[in-house]
Amino acid sequence: MATGKNIRTYFQGRWHDDDVYVMRAADHGSWLGTTVFDGARHAHGLTPDLLAHCERLNDSARNMSITPTLDAQEMVQIALDGLAPYSEGAAVYIRPMYWALHGGPLAIKPKPGATEFCICLEEIPMADPDKSVTLTRTRFERPVLASSIVNAKAGCLYPNNARMLAEANDKGFDNALVADALGNVAEAATANVFMTRQGKVLTPAANGTFLAGITRKRILSLLRAEGVEVVEAVLSFDDFHEADEVFLTGNLSKVTTVSRFDDSHYQAGPIAKEARRLYWEWAAQTGG
């Protein structure tokens, strides 16, 4: 089921004006979950960090033992060609994907070189910058590299995120604030998380249990360039209860303010607003 509208699909060398079928029942990715993807954004006529997202897709594929078949710059050009028919003001989600076609010995490990690729474009509006979300705790946690492929943006990881969201939604909240295996805050179920306290910005240190996102990295560098003190640290749930401001970063919505974490309430603060302004200013100055 599609999330957006006006879908276009690049598959086997050409663009299709539809949500076309791309995966077969016997494909390794169908029955053993060897799929990786990445997500970039086209909005305001810009495609911020598209190359970085395509480069990460190839890294994810290698970490899943899937052989990448395209250079990242090739993917960028294909995506830009695919975006050409959309209207000037369209907000589009850009999702390149790989999946393994065949298994090697004993079928489980993907066969080297046996890879399929597609790009899906979906028109999905940017989130309202004035809309905040609410967070709650979940009994589920982020896995570790010893037990899961946490160093890839892999489809097989997302059922865990889905059950976090389901639990949060059942409690009346929009999203979940999630712990790592040691009980410290890792991220939200769908995005990286930041907090502020007394003018200082803090975000969980990348410890290998979650993807330290491309948008997260961009916001870190932009805030620091503006002279804002930003610290990557081990953070507890108590730290977030004591925060002055909390916000999320991710590709789909870029910067999203948080109005509540369980019984702690926050105002939409100046740092999140500044982070959003700096991000789109940077994108406009660099051409995305």
Q: Could you tell me what percent of the chain has a pLDDT over 70? A: 99
Q: Do 118 and 158 share a domain, yes or no? A: no
Instruction: Answer yes or no: is 95 within a domain.
Output: yes
- pLDDT at residue 1, as a whole number: 47
- pLDDT at residue 288, as a whole number: 73
Average pLDDT estimate for 224-239: 97
CA atoms within 13 A on the CB side of 56: 20
Dump pLDDT digits (tens) for 5-28: 999 999 999 999 999 999 999 999
State how many domains the chain has.
2
The boundaries of the domain holding residue 280 are 133-286
178 three-class SS = strand
Strands 92-100 and 192-197: unpaired
Instruction: Answer yes or no: is 186 within a domain.
Output: yes
Average pLDDT estimate for 121-135: 94
The mean predicted confidence, pLDDT, of the chain is: 96
Average pLDDT estimate for 234-238: 98
Instruction: Answer yes or no: is 39 within a domain.
Output: yes
Asked if residue 276 lies in contact with residue 255, where contact means CB atoms within 8 angstroms, the answer is: yes
Q: Do 71 and 159 share a domain, yes or no? A: no
- Distances in Å between the Cα of 168 and the Cα atoms of 3, 4, 156, 171 are 20, 23, 20, 5
Asked if residue 91 lies in contact with residue 124, where contact means CB atoms within 8 angstroms, the answer is: yes
pLDDT for 164 beyond 70: yes
pLDDT for 68 beyond 80: yes
Last residue of a domain, one of 93, 123, 153: 123
**What phi and psi, each to the nearest 5 degrees, are found at residue 129?**
-65, -20
